[in-house]
Chains A and B, each alone.
Chain A
Amino acid sequence: MESWRRNPLVFWVINLPPSLWLLFFFLIPLGLIWIFSFGEKRGVVDIEITWTLANYLRAMDPLYLQIFAKSLWFTAITTLLCLAVGFPIAFGISFAPAKWKPWLLLAIILPFWTNLLIRTYALIAVLRTRGYVNFTLEWFWDQGNWLLALLGLGQYQLLGAQFEALPLLYNNFAVVFGLVYVHLPFTVLPLYAALERMDSSYIEASLDLGAGQFRTFFTVVVPLAKAGIISAVIITFIPALGSFLTPDLLGGTDSQMIANVIERQFKSANDWPFGAALSFILMYATFFALALRALLARGSSSMEAA
């Protein structure tokens, strides 16, 4: 770790560009938005920095707290579903034959090569009333009726007088479905990384010593993959919480998430200070959660040592 002291020049040559990049394109813009959150609007384009807390107080209005709560709820469900779906996928990939792994991983990463907007529109084509899911269901409905007619039961209309399309789009179900679809790769990759590193002899030992598949999974695999699970949760939860495109395009009339409110502040409502305050509340919450996790991790490891 001390080697950089022996070669300070190399250290600076390698680290200066990324540090400057981080400073100019991340920290300074972020700092500006942070400063805006203590500003007041003066006319159409001017913002005066008065270090007021009014924007934060306004965000504490029950109206906005309720939207925060709803967003957290959507995001929590999304993260749980991503874990439930992503764990078996990651598990499957990590135990797949070596020559298959790159292809399976590619399949997970592939959606990233397509723009989010395009993927969301594709999802609309799948879920809408005259979309592929409903087309498929209608086909089954037709086949079912044909079968019933064959059995001489056609006149009873056992499957309903006509096919009723499922309302899959423009509701909260569609929003959560869309969020899971978009964020699943974020969950699978860290889980895969954790499971891949795991020594499979632990599992063999557990099975040999008489534990069942479920017991082995929950008492051996899950604790060993804990670090990966926590990373997966964080890396899924944080971007999902800030989604605005998915609720905008897939949601119904009551699918507003906090990021939609923030987007409006920067666009149609033209209230940058308030939008900045809302964004930073989201960020403070995230920092708090990360700090809490670090604290808990330290607590548990010191207990293990004791």
Chain B
Amino acid sequence: MKRLNKRPFSRRAFLAGSGAVAAGLTFAPRFGRSAEEPKLNFYNWDTYIGEDTLDDFKDASGIEVKMDLFADNEELFAKLKEGNPGYDLIVPTNDFVERMITAEMLVPLDHGKIPNFRANIDPAFQEAQFDPGRKYSMPYMWGTQGIGYRKSKVSGVPDSWKHIFDSEEYSGRTAWLSETTFETALKYLGYSLNSSDPKHIKEAEELLIKQKPHVKTIAEDNGQDLLLAGEVDLAMEWNGDILQVMEEDDDISYVVPKEGGLLWQDTLCIPKGAPHPENAHQFINYLLDAEAGAAIADFIQYATPNKAAKALLPAEYTENPAIFPSDETLANCEAELYQGEALQRIKDEAWTRILAA
């Protein structure tokens, strides 16, 4: 959901997208056994691809890409859980990549067919904790979670999670983000956001229960709307969402607090049962190309892990702190790891208690 309405509404993208949804529903049967038919079924987030990427790829390779859209990782996961309905390429976020690897839902990638990975991708993204050796996933876009705020209503830059987790200064003017409040509270307390220590979890729970009366609401990923409407002055949100409202309102800004925050990475994966794995490899390689990657990043305004693509883009993109935070801040950020179902249950129960308190 964090990538819903990425850019200010683009009619052209919308028309292209809705056409693709309609077309994507029919999966033609395979002919030939050896060579794959020139088709590819791509399951992606809304407005998460360049304007002409699919057409350009068709011109270059002759492969026609049909794109379906999903709204959040849970939807993607639920759709593939009971068997792949015909998708060749999907775009899960890091913790879901891990979940899908655990559940044996992904096909190992053939790095030999994706030369752009080693050639163009920033070395920092060539390895990943959630997918050692990048056997199953290729980096597509990444970003952070931080605080979106209204400049005229706060004193200075609210560059600490303290303002929304441990302070009465902005009582009644802050919003949490339901999916990751708990992990971020662990981060504020100085622990890893992946901590599984029951003592740390208890401490985070107590912190949040104590702060709750000062919080206006727990947003279901609409913190940017609350900020834009003036309901709150500080909202915990994904950088892309805040970036979108920053374009509409100059008084809004974004900061990743100094304690660090959640780092996310969306990846390209091939699900088991994909009818066109060869084409999928070819398309992945194309997406990791410098020029194609630059066109996508320029259009959707998310941080690209593609060094060669970034070099082609203007400073207003590469030096935007809401897209690329400073290295010091980034050093404190962490990606969420999938740590098994038992911890999931403990955290969900703690969250239920926080909401019921």
Q: Which residues of A contact B (CB under 8 A)?
A: 41, 43-45, 63-64, 66-67, 70, 128-130, 169-170, 248-249, 251-254, 256, 260-261, 264-265, 267-271
Q: Does B212 contact A (CB under 8 A)?
A: yes
If the complex has contacts A43-B102, A271-B348, are A129 and B231 also in contact, measured as CB distance less than 8 A?
yes
B231 CB contacts on chain A under 8 angstroms: 128-130, 169-170
B52 CB contacts on chain A under 8 angstroms: none
Contact with A along B210-226 (1 / 0, CB 8 A): 00110111101000000
A13 nearest CB across to chain B (Å): 33
Q: Which of B64-106 contact A (CB under 8 A)?
A: 74, 81, 99, 102-103
- Tell which of A44, A128, A260, A261 touches B229, judged by Cβ atoms closer than 8 Å: A128
Complex alpha-carbon distance, A271 and B74, angstroms: 13
Q: Which of B202-258 contact A (CB under 8 A)?
A: 212-213, 215-218, 220, 229-231
Complex alpha-carbon distance, A214 and B99, angstroms: 64
Q: Are A44 and B341 touching (Cβ within 8 A)?
A: yes
Q: Are A268 and B352 touching (Cβ within 8 A)?
A: no
Q: Are A67 and B215 touching (Cβ within 8 A)?
A: no
Size class of the B contact interface (CB-based, 8 Å): 20 to 34
Complex alpha-carbon distance, A219 and B179, angstroms: 53
A267 CB contacts on chain B under 8 angstroms: 74
If the complex has contacts A128-B229, A128-B231, A252-B216, are A63 and B341 also in contact, measured as CB distance less than 8 A?
no
Q: Are B229 and A130 touching (Cβ within 8 A)?
A: yes
Complex alpha-carbon distance, A129 and B81, angstroms: 42
Q: Are A63 and B102 touching (Cβ within 8 A)?
A: no
A63 CB contacts on chain B under 8 angstroms: 349, 352-353, 356
Q: Does B344 contact A (CB under 8 A)?
A: yes
Q: Are B352 and A44 touching (Cβ within 8 A)?
A: no
CB-defined A-B contacts under 8 Å, sample of 12: A44-B103, A66-B356, A130-B230, A130-B231, A170-B216, A170-B217, A253-B215, A253-B216, A254-B356, A264-B348, A268-B74, A269-B344
Complex alpha-carbon distance, A271 and B348, angstroms: 10
Q: Are A251 and B349 touching (Cβ within 8 A)?
A: no
Q: Does B345 contact A (CB under 8 A)?
A: yes
Q: Does B15 contact A (CB under 8 A)?
A: no
Complex alpha-carbon distance, A265 and B102, angstroms: 19
Main secondary structure of the interface of B (DSSP, over half): helix
Complex alpha-carbon distance, A292 and B310, angstroms: 68
If the complex has contacts A45-B103, A129-B230, A170-B216, are A67 and B348 also in contact, measured as CB distance less than 8 A?
no
Complex alpha-carbon distance, A130 and B227, angstroms: 12
Complex alpha-carbon distance, A298 and B353, angstroms: 42
Main secondary structure of the interface of A (DSSP, over half): loop
B74 CB contacts on chain A under 8 angstroms: 267-268
Q: Does B315 contact A (CB under 8 A)?
A: no
Q: Are A269 and B212 touching (Cβ within 8 A)?
A: no
Complex alpha-carbon distance, A23 and B345, angstroms: 34
A249 CB contacts on chain B under 8 angstroms: 220
Complex alpha-carbon distance, A41 and B74, angstroms: 18
Nearest 4 CB-CB pairs, A to B? A269-B348, A256-B355, A170-B217, A44-B103
Complex alpha-carbon distance, A268 and B351, angstroms: 11
B229 CB contacts on chain A under 8 angstroms: 128-130
Q: Which of B321-357 contact A (CB under 8 A)?
A: 341, 344-345, 348-349, 351-353, 355-357
If the complex has contacts A128-B231, A170-B216, A269-B344, are A45 and B81 also in contact, measured as CB distance less than 8 A?
yes
Q: Are A41 and B81 touching (Cβ within 8 A)?
A: no
Q: Are B341 and A67 touching (Cβ within 8 A)?
A: no
A169 CB contacts on chain B under 8 angstroms: 231
Complex alpha-carbon distance, A45 and B102, angstroms: 9
Complex alpha-carbon distance, A260 and B355, angstroms: 10
A43 CB contacts on chain B under 8 angstroms: 102-103, 341
CB nearest to B211 among chain A residues: A253
A252 CB contacts on chain B under 8 angstroms: 216-217
Q: Are B220 and A253 touching (Cβ within 8 A)?
A: no
Complex alpha-carbon distance, A145 and B344, angstroms: 56
Contact with A along B260-298 (1 / 0, CB 8 A): 000000000000000000000000000000000000000
B339 nearest CB across to chain A (Å): 12
CB nearest to A131 among chain B residues: B229
Complex alpha-carbon distance, A217 and B356, angstroms: 41
B99 CB contacts on chain A under 8 angstroms: 44
A10 nearest CB across to chain B (Å): 38
Q: Are B341 and A270 touching (Cβ within 8 A)?
A: yes
Q: Are B220 and A270 touching (Cβ within 8 A)?
A: no
A96 nearest CB across to chain B (Å): 39
Complex alpha-carbon distance, A253 and B220, angstroms: 12
Complex alpha-carbon distance, A274 and B217, angstroms: 27
A261 CB contacts on chain B under 8 angstroms: 352
B103 nearest CB across to chain A (Å): 4
If the complex has contacts A43-B103, A170-B217, A271-B345, are A253 and B356 also in contact, measured as CB distance less than 8 A?
no
A175 nearest CB across to chain B (Å): 11
Q: Are B212 and A254 touching (Cβ within 8 A)?
A: yes
If the complex has contacts A41-B341, A45-B81, A261-B352, are A254 and B357 also in contact, measured as CB distance less than 8 A?
yes
Q: Are A253 and B217 touching (Cβ within 8 A)?
A: yes
A45 CB contacts on chain B under 8 angstroms: 81, 103
- Tell which of B217, B351, B352 touches A251, judged by Cβ atoms closer than 8 Å: B217
A60 nearest CB across to chain B (Å): 14
Given A253-B212, A264-B348, A271-B341, 16 more A-B residue pairs with CB atoms under 8 Å apart are A41-B341, A43-B341, A44-B99, A44-B341, A128-B229, A128-B231, A129-B230, A130-B229, A130-B230, A254-B212, A254-B356, A260-B355, A261-B352, A265-B348, A268-B179, A271-B348
A268 nearest CB across to chain B (Å): 7
B333 nearest CB across to chain A (Å): 21
CB nearest to A130 among chain B residues: B230
Q: Are B352 and A256 touching (Cβ within 8 A)?
A: yes
